[in-house]
Amino acid sequence: MSSLLTPDFGLLFWMLLSFGAVFFALSRWAFPVIKRTVAKRSDYIESSLASADEARRKAQDAESLSKTITDEARVQQAEILKKAMSDGENIVHSAHERAAAERDKLIAALHDDLEHQREKAMVELSGEMTDMVLDLTERVLRERLEDPQRQHELVLRMLEEAEHTRVFSGLPDTHSVSPSLPDNKI
Amino acid sequence: MKRTLFILMLTILGAVANVRAETEEVAVAIERFDTAEMIVEHVGDSYWWHITRVGGRDLTIFLPVIARERDSGWHIFSSRHIAHGAEYRGFRIADEGRHRGKLIATADGGEYRPWDVSITKTTFALLFNSAVIVALFLWVARRYRRRSWKSVPRGFVGAIEMLMVSIEDDIIKKSIGHGYERFSPYLLTAFFFILINNLMGLIPFFPGGANVMGNISITIVLAFCSLVAMNLFSNREYWREIFWPDAPIWLKLPVPLLPAIEFFGVLSKPVALMIRLTANVMGGHIVLISVTSIIFVAATMGAAASAGLTVFSVIFSIFMTAIELLVASLQAYVFTLLSAVFIGLSRPKSHKTAVD
């Protein structure tokens, strides 16, 4: 047992030699290769983790951006809808207004046209009446020259015809426009 | 597991029974069994390696004796020539005295211890284990060279990488700090050297079973390497703290009490490393052999006692082997950790730098 606790030159020599050889071999050919590989893998893992973090950050940014854009789009959509509804209402309102104005304009134009037609008809009727009066006058004058009774009858008949024409043509009462023909003056 | 244990016990019981039933010579041998002698034989060093006994004959490997005799110079011969007390070329193995079990040379009627670098059992195991370590690591390095660095290793190669990375990151880097790369190869080599030698020592058959790390000559070298690493690469502040520590002047002058204690600490650290490793490994071997020898001691006590103690011995041996597996790794870890811590302590930052 004492030999175990007493240093032995031979063992010291072989231990120095073998440990030195192991140290040399391992530190020259084994540890550097293993460490280099582990370091490479470690760097790769770290860079992969960094890339993953970067990708995650980008995804978060993109998500955030997407959310912002979506929110903005929603706001814009709401605004557009609101504006569209307002525009639509305005368009409908203006269309109604335009239609009403057009209608009023058309009605006024029709009224003007009718008034014009009526005036024209009145003028024409006045012309015709004038012609008839002239014709009658001519006839009366011609009959007067022949028979007063007949002249009177003729005047009456002409007046009746004129009245009949007025009624059928829808003209106003001739008494209001035509000069009354006093019997004594005819 | 239970079934395996049962079969193992039956085998051992059978073996014991067979031993008892064998020849009268064996019975006598059992009766003459000396536990202390067996422990010394297994734990101690020898010029040959007794492997086993087959058919009544010892199977022994006789190792080369390399020694220098004063007059005739260096001699290399097989230890077979000096076995059983024989003398050869003026050399023999001392059977008593200070050099008991060692090679001695006889000259001019006197005896002396020659320069002896023989390949003893421990030396053979040491060289074999060193070759195993180198072969394993070169194989691992070759695997790393051939495979893509992206592929993660598995199995044994993965275990080596895991151990290397954890030792370097958790012990060396943390204990030494800046400049740890210089000490990393030594500390890693020391760790794997101790680990593999310890594990090989737990293998109960040739070429395992030798008590390499339980021999003080082996741990002296390791402790010396740590001492060199601690002191050779230390800084100025370390030496200032030893020879002129921050303490009252009367502790330093006229009697340098504190410097003496500090200097004693420089030497005691590696000595503590050396003794701790030797004692733990040798203690483990002795306990294991003692527990196993219960079988042989009990063989003379009758069938019932023999069987009972044999079962106890087997169970306790399995338990102790498991503990020794833990101790083997733990001692390698502790030696590396303490060496790294001592190296780290030998590179202190100066107070000025620390304040800055």
B74, B93, B130, best to mutate vs chain A, most A CBs in 10 Å: B130
Mean pLDDT of the B150-175 span: 89
Top-confidence residue, B353 or B210: B210
Mean pLDDT of the A66-81 span: 92
Decide if B254 contacts B261 (C-beta within 8 A). Answer: no
Please give the pLDDT value at position B19: 44
Residue B32 has pLDDT above 70, yes or no: no
Query: Mean pLDDT for chain B?
Result: 84
Please give the pLDDT value at position A80: 92
* B69 CB-side CA count, 13 A: 19
pLDDT band per the 50, 70, 90 thresholds, residue B117: very high
Please give the pLDDT value at position A1: 53
Mean pLDDT of the B293-316 span: 84
Q: A156 to each of A122, A151, A159, A164, A185, how far by Cα in Å?
A: 22, 9, 5, 12, 14
* B184 CB-side CA count, 13 A: 22
Residue A33 at interface with chain B, using a CB cutoff of 8 Å: yes
Residue B83 has pLDDT above 60, yes or no: yes
Rounded to a whole number of angstroms, the distance from the CA of A19 to the nearest CA of chain B is 7
- Percent of chain B predicted with pLDDT > 70: 89
Mean pLDDT of the B155-179 span: 91
* Closest Cβ opposite residue B185 in set A2, A16, A23: A23
Please give the pLDDT value at position B343: 92
Residue A116 has pLDDT above 50, yes or no: yes
Query: Which run of H or of E encompasses B320?
Result: helix B303-345
Rounded to a whole number of angstroms, the distance from the CA of A6 to the nearest CA of chain B is 7
- Percent of chain B predicted with pLDDT > 90: 35
Compare all CA atoms of chain B with the CA of A30 and give the residue at the minimum distance: B141
Measured CA to CA, the distance from residue B69 to residue B228 in angstroms comes to 33
Query: Mean pLDDT for chain A?
Result: 82
Of A185, B128, B116, B89, residue with least CA distance to B101? B116
Please give the pLDDT value at position B31: 61
Which DSSP letter does residue B23 get?
A: -
Q: Which two tokens stand for residue A44?
A: 């790769």
Please give the pLDDT value at position B252: 81
Please give the pLDDT value at position B144: 87
Please give the pLDDT value at position B150: 75
Mean pLDDT of the B241-268 span: 85
Burial B140-159 (b: 16+ CB within 10 A, else e): bbebbeeeeeeeebeeebee
Residue A39 at interface with chain B, using a CB cutoff of 8 Å: no
Under 8 Å CB pairs connecting chains A and B tally to: 127
pLDDT band per the 50, 70, 90 thresholds, residue B17: very low
Q: Under an 8 A CB cutoff, do A34 and B141 touch? A: yes
Q: Under an 8 A CB cutoff, do B45 and A12 touch? A: no
Residue A44 at interface with chain B, using a CB cutoff of 8 Å: yes
Instruction: Write out the DSSP string of B278-293.
Output: HHHHHHHHHHHHHHHH
Q: A72 to each of A60, A62, A66, A162, how far by Cα in Å?
A: 18, 15, 10, 82
Mean pLDDT of the B277-286 span: 89
Please give the pLDDT value at position A106: 86
Choose the weakest-confidence range: B62-66, B154-158, B175-179, B297-301: B297-301
Decide if B235 contacts B259 (C-beta within 8 A). Answer: no
Contacts of B149 in chain A (CB under 8 A): 37, 40-41, 44
Mean pLDDT of the A159-184 span: 64
Residue B29 has pLDDT above 60, yes or no: no
Please give the pLDDT value at position B24: 47
Please give the pLDDT value at position A115: 83
Decide if A133 contacts A161 (C-beta within 8 A). Answer: no
* B60 CB-side CA count, 13 A: 18
Residue B246 has pLDDT above 70, yes or no: yes
Residue A177 has pLDDT above 50, yes or no: no
Measured CA to CA, the distance from residue B114 to residue B105 in angstroms comes to 6
From chain A residues 87-126, the ones with a CB under 8 A of any chain B CB are: none
Rounded to a whole number of angstroms, the distance from the CA of A43 to the nearest CA of chain B is 11
B101: left (phi over 0), alpha (psi -120 to 50) or beta: left
Residue A24 at interface with chain B, using a CB cutoff of 8 Å: no
Top-confidence residue, B44 or B193: B193
pLDDT band per the 50, 70, 90 thresholds, residue B192: very high
Q: Under an 8 A CB cutoff, do A1 and B220 touch? A: no
Do strands B64-69 and B73-78 pair parallel, antiparallel, or not at all (unpaired)? antiparallel
Please give the pLDDT value at position A2: 54
Please report, to the nearest 10 degrees, the dihedral formed by the alpha carbons of residues B155, B160, B166, B171 taken in order: 160
